[in-house]
């Protein structure tokens, strides 16, 4: 575990330290697109954050290759090199798209090529562990098609959900943490050596996301862009492929002594799409809804719009930060529920906990204007927006504005100004200039 933590910290530190210089480079290179109608931010923000994340990936894998226990992953498996090959292609495509823009079909084609390169180097689904049947071997063509499809779906699901500050990096970090918990238990708990690459990939991915998040939280100073969103999507898909299609259930049966226990153990990985879909269910649902919505309206599935789940949360009244935390909550609930079922699928407490958390999540979702107030003794430990004194001042200002409107003294009523809400702001000019 210490070597994994070291690898995670190295990836996080390198990503964090590189993001600042990358931001300056992106501004100098002009990688700051104009504000689009569907965008949530109001000021041009540099992209190319994926450059720092790719540096964190390379640094994490480099350090891991020299550690006593993790170096066996590089000696006994070609999967780390396969990951770097595919990640390099995706990252280069994303950099070009962040700076100059790349056609959607070209991006789809390069994504398939990157997935194919990983398949050629051994990162592929070899068989499907189907409950009640056993291992179903796949032909080379079936293995290639299934692996490429999984990589492309995951990449685009993460890319589609990257619409709010800190959303994609946080959700992928949650998914990677769930992957890490599951794969680490498979490797050290049951001695399944095939789970070692997935455990390593997940640890590095957690570090990449944690290192980038401080720069990307609202208000974001830099965006990861397609160079980052497609990169972390590919790493996440690689973890799923590595642990899903190459872990032999018979090895687990030898450790547990019971095929029934093995079936319970492998609940999340019965099919190669079940685990990724359970871990990133929210981004995949957003992807499916976007494709259906655009096709129904006679538009291209790759055309951008403002109908994603995070946009809908903003439209019903949630703040930017609250919308992000709601998406975090549902991603974590689904991901860790799947991992919990893999540990003990017959536990009633897990079911009750999921039901209770789901009810709490629905309550928060349906109360967009509810804002919790921290007790006065805890105000110094919470953000200003949750402090009672600040909330009382905001409520008083809103009440005064409403009273002014009812009295006919609101700006715009007497024709004095046409600036709307801006006229309600206090005049910050010096006293001499007001005269």
392 in a known ligand binding site: no
The answer to whether residue 264 scores a pLDDT higher than 80 is no
Within 10 angstroms of residue 306's Cβ, the number of other Cβ atoms is: 15
Over residues 191-213, mean pLDDT = 90
Q: What SS3 class is residue 413? A: coil
Q: pLDDT tier at 82 (50, 70, 90 boundaries)?
A: very high
159 in a known ligand binding site: yes
Mean pLDDT of the chain: 76
Over residues 340-358, mean pLDDT = 71
| 136 strand-pairing partners | 128
Distances (CA, A) of 158 to 132, 227, 364: 33, 12, 24
The closest alpha carbon to 194, from 159, 232, 128, 242, belongs to 242
The closest alpha carbon to 365, from 334, 328, 336, belongs to 328
Distances (CA, A) of 394 to 390, 399, 433: 6, 9, 28
Q: Tell me which DSSP letter residue 222 carries.
A: -
> Looking at per-residue confidence, does 414 or 128 come out higher?
128
Dist. CA 255–CA 191, nearest whole Å: 8
Q: Which of these ranges, 71-80, 164-173, 294-303, has the smallest mean pLDDT?
A: 294-303
The answer to whether residue 353 scores a pLDDT higher than 50 is yes
């Amino acid at each position: 575990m210490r070597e994994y933590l070291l690898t995670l910290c190295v990836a996080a530190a390198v990503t964090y330290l590189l993001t600042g210089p990358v931001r300056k480079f992106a501004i100098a290179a002009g990688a700051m697109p104009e504000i689009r109608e569907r965008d949530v931010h109001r000021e041009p923000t540099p992209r190319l954050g994926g450059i720092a994340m790719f540096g964190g990936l390379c640094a994490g894998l480099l350090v891991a290759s020299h550690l006593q226990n993790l170096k066996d992953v590089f000696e006994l498996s070609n999967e780390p090199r396969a990951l770097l090959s595919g990640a390099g292609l995706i990252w280069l495509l994303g950099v070009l798209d962040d700076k100059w823009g790349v056609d959607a079909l070209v991006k789809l084609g390069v994504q398939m090529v990157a997935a194919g390169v990983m398949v050629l180097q051994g990162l592929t689904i070899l068989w499907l562990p189907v409950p009640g049947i056993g291992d179903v071997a796949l032909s080379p063509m079936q293995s290639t098609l299934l692996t490429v499809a999984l990589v492309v779906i995951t990449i685009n699901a993460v890319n589609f959900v990257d619409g709010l500050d800190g959303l994609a990096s946080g959700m992928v970090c949650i998914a990677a943490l769930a992957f890490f918990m599951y794969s680490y238990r498979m490797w050290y708990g049951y001695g399944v050596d095939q789970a070692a690459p997935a455990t390593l990939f997940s640890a590095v991915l957690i570090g990449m996301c944690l290192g980038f998040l401080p720069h990307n939280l609202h208000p974001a100073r830099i965006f990861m862009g397609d160079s980052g969103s497609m990169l972390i999507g590919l790493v996440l898909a690689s973890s799923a492929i590595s642990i899903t299609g190459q872990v032999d259930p018979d090895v687990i049966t030898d450790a547990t002594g019971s095929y029934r226990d093995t079936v319970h153990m492998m609940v999340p990985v019965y099919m190669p799409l079940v685990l990724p879909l359970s871990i990133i269910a929210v981004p995949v649902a957003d992807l499916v809804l976007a494709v259906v919505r655009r096709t129904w309206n006679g538009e291209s599935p790759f055309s951008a719009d403002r109908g994603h789940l995070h946009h809908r949360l903003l439209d019903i009244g949630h703040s930017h930060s609250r919308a992000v935390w709601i998406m975090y909550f549902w991603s974590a609930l689904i991901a860790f529920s799947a991992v919990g079922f893999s540990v003990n699928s017959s536990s009633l407490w897990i079911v009750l906990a999921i039901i209770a958390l789901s009810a709490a999540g629905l309550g928060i979702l349906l109360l967009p204007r509810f804002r919790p107030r921290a007790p006065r003794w805890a105000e110094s430990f919470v953000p200003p927006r949750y402090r009672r004194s600040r909330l009382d001042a905001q409520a008083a200002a809103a009440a005064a504005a409403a009273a002014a409107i009812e009295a006919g003294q609101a700006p715009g009523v007497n024709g004095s100004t046409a600036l709307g809400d801006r006229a309600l702001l206090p005049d910050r000019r010096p006293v001499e200039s007001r005269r």
